[in-house]
Structure 1
């Protein structure tokens, strides 16, 4: 009986010490993650990361921890709140942290390379993590990177303009003449299109395109906006294309604006659109039937573009969004005479030339559109914006 009591006592003592050690280590980790360098995810910047890689010494968010789990030979993940941490692992985290990892794994990130944020699509975040820790692309200053070689070429699946099918096309991006070319099956006939890098933009659109690696490439032809929708089966390859476009765009901007700083140029390399979605639109007299259109608000170019559908190659029209001092405003409205509209949340955009009436499906949609438009209207106009405004007015 005494032996049984002794064994029970030892088990009780072990459990008590184990729990005390668990609580102590958890407290240490929670203190570490409050330090400024550790208080956001090492990979996407999300606040208050709850996970950590005890082999890399970094604190990461839940979303990024999923990619780390797929790198099991490099990164081992634990929850800092739910899992038990041995003393040696806690000491490793204390000795390292996000700051040390950044100094090592991000030491030579090219200035044009896109570093994903919390709300970016999965493929961007995954390939950023793999580029840092698995391929170690940024640990050496002169490491060969295909996307910064000056020429990038390969095959992408491109959506056809008419039938909507995705077909393989060869693309060639060149820094020498600042162009993007793509070819049909018979390359001997020359490129199907030669696109100037001057107006080129690329943004990931997986939901719109219906593929996890979907990329939308936008450019201008004679002041009209055109879209290409492409994807690649490989996440690494499509992100390489994205960063190759950014590298070429950055080189072009450095040539076009030699006195501008990197910080001034980077927002123009590529950008996500401020707001996208369907609205109903009527004509100039407001007596024409409402028609459903896909709208894109480009806040940098101050353009509200509209298309028949979200996957149209060519715009139907464009509205310049200036400042309040120049006669632009947005407000709620309910037009008196409407035909064809199914949605009831009205919005009026005033310009010096005319009033545009739009109908949104939900009140939330109207609020989001109005906030986005007011944001653009509140921004001061740059010298190039006056040229854009004049070109759009001339098209009317």
Structure 2
């Protein structure tokens, strides 16, 4: 019996080294050490948790720690991640977000449930895709009040007909409180920031300034449907706006995560103003550094467009002495053609991470969409910073 166990473990460890099995079938994490012996897939520890909840369709065991019977090992040998993918991911819409290793729980959980429990992508249950593929979404989400911490129920309507997201104060309101164009809208899961496991941050432009909405839905499937519905409408918009761009060019633009977020202290343009703590968000796709008073602010206080070294942009460490009024010791200076920005970080590691992130954006070549708006954005950022000089 012991020899059989050892032999089966060796076979499984050999199977999981094959290229198609060497990453988790659901999130792509390397070196999965769990497997579903009902589905024939190799998965990571995190994804195995969701599989464990789906007893009707999946049963998991540890490759290394559990005893595997011969017939189960043979089943794993005949199947594997590539076979399962061909079946369970046969008709995933181009815009549908496939979670990665470090994505939040609700995204990974709902992807696994959609694939195996609901079988949304096998070609048999296409009607289930209408919730996010139809180009129209109408429902209720909990939305954070602009100046309050509490969340209130609001009706949201997403429409591909005019590429807008509207929200209404009351269910039966005829006039929307806000009409948001999907042209420059972004949706990204932020459970820690929102304080709810299904928390979603929706960002958009209004009068050249960035505005945030923070929403959630109690039901994981509902909020992931909303997220993918936003991606679907953005996809339809970008296909029109950026024709003849192909899917590989459009996919990274559907939703974008910030490159780095966190607190730093900043001073004003004269560099003698007192340092104030602000929440900074750096986005590499649109090359912008935004800052807010707190992570949950609705409206940005300022924005800086970040060009390339050839356009006069650079970042470097700042000597700590002489930083007026800053409680924090680890400084960095970002040079732009208009002015130098001095920021202070609390920890040396943070300072290094910010410098590295800025360098990454500066090193990226400018794309056509950046050239068309670069001068305008630089002008706007000067106006914004002058207007909010004391903020």
Task: Give the alignment's TM-score, normalised by structure 2.
Answer: 0.95
Q: Displacement of 1:225 after TM fit?
A: 0.4
In 1, are the aligned partners of 2:159 and 2:165 still within 8 Å (CA)? yes
Partner residue, 2:388: none
Unaligned runs of 5+ in 2: 384-391
- Sort the Cα spacing of 1:236 and 1:142 in 2 relative to 1 into closer, same or farther, 3 A: closer
Matched, 1:340 2:307: no
In 2, are the aligned partners of 1:156 and 1:232 still within 8 Å (CA)? yes
Unaligned runs of 5+ in 1: 1-17
Partner residue, 1:8: none
Matched, 1:199 2:175: no
Partner residue, 2:296: 311
Report the 3-state secondary structure (helix = DSSP H, G, I; strand = E; otherwise coil) of the residue aligned with 1:294: strand
In 2, are the aligned partners of 1:159 and 1:228 still within 8 Å (CA)? yes
Partner residue, 1:225: 210
Q: Which residues in structure 2 correspond to 1:21-60 (within 5 Å)?
A: 21-60=4-43
Matched, 1:288 2:244: no
Q: Displacement of 1:286 after TM fit?
A: 0.9
Taking the aligned partners of 2:121 and 2:171, their CA distance within structure 1 comes to 38
In 2, are the aligned partners of 1:152 and 1:241 still within 8 Å (CA)? yes
Matched, 1:114 2:102: no
Q: Displacement of 1:339 after TM fit?
A: 3.0
In 2, are the aligned partners of 1:223 and 1:391 still within 8 Å (CA)? no
Partner residue, 2:77: 94
Partner residue, 1:19: 2
Q: Displacement of 1:285 after TM fit?
A: 1.1
- Sort the Cα spacing of 1:82 and 1:353 in 2 relative to 1 into closer, same or farther, 3 A: same
In 1, are the aligned partners of 2:320 and 2:329 still within 8 Å (CA)? no
Q: Displacement of 1:387 after TM fit?
A: 3.1
Partner residue, 1:300: 285
In 2, are the aligned partners of 1:289 and 1:338 still within 8 Å (CA)? no
Q: Which of 132, 136, 139 matches 2:122?
A: 139
Partner residue, 2:387: none
Taking the aligned partners of 1:188 and 1:111, their CA distance within structure 2 comes to 34
Report the 3-state secondary structure (helix = DSSP H, G, I; strand = E; otherwise coil) of the residue aligned with 1:37: coil
Q: Which residues in structure 2 correspond to 1:175-324 (within 5 Å)?
A: 175-185=160-170, 187-324=172-309
Partner residue, 1:326: 311
In 2, are the aligned partners of 1:148 and 1:247 still within 8 Å (CA)? yes
Partner residue, 1:371: 356
Q: Which of 124, 138, 153 matches 1:168?
A: 153
Taking the aligned partners of 2:257 and 2:160, their CA distance within structure 1 comes to 23
In 2, are the aligned partners of 1:50 and 1:62 still within 8 Å (CA)? yes
Matched, 1:352 2:337: yes
Q: Which of 113, 124, 130 matches 1:130?
A: 113
Partner residue, 1:73: 56
Taking the aligned partners of 1:392 and 1:362, their CA distance within structure 2 comes to 31
Taking the aligned partners of 1:142 and 1:59, their CA distance within structure 2 comes to 24
Q: Displacement of 1:142 after TM fit?
A: 7.3
Taking the aligned partners of 2:334 and 2:172, their CA distance within structure 1 comes to 46
Report the 3-state secondary structure (helix = DSSP H, G, I; strand = E; otherwise coil) of the residue aligned with 1:331: strand
Task: Give the alignment's TM-score, normalised by structure 1.
Answer: 0.94
Higher-Rg structure is 1
Q: Displacement of 1:189 after TM fit?
A: 4.4
Q: Displacement of 1:391 after TM fit?
A: 2.0
Q: Which of 350, 357, 381 matches 2:366?
A: 381
Taking the aligned partners of 2:262 and 2:80, their CA distance within structure 1 comes to 41
Q: Displacement of 1:186 after TM fit?
A: 6.1
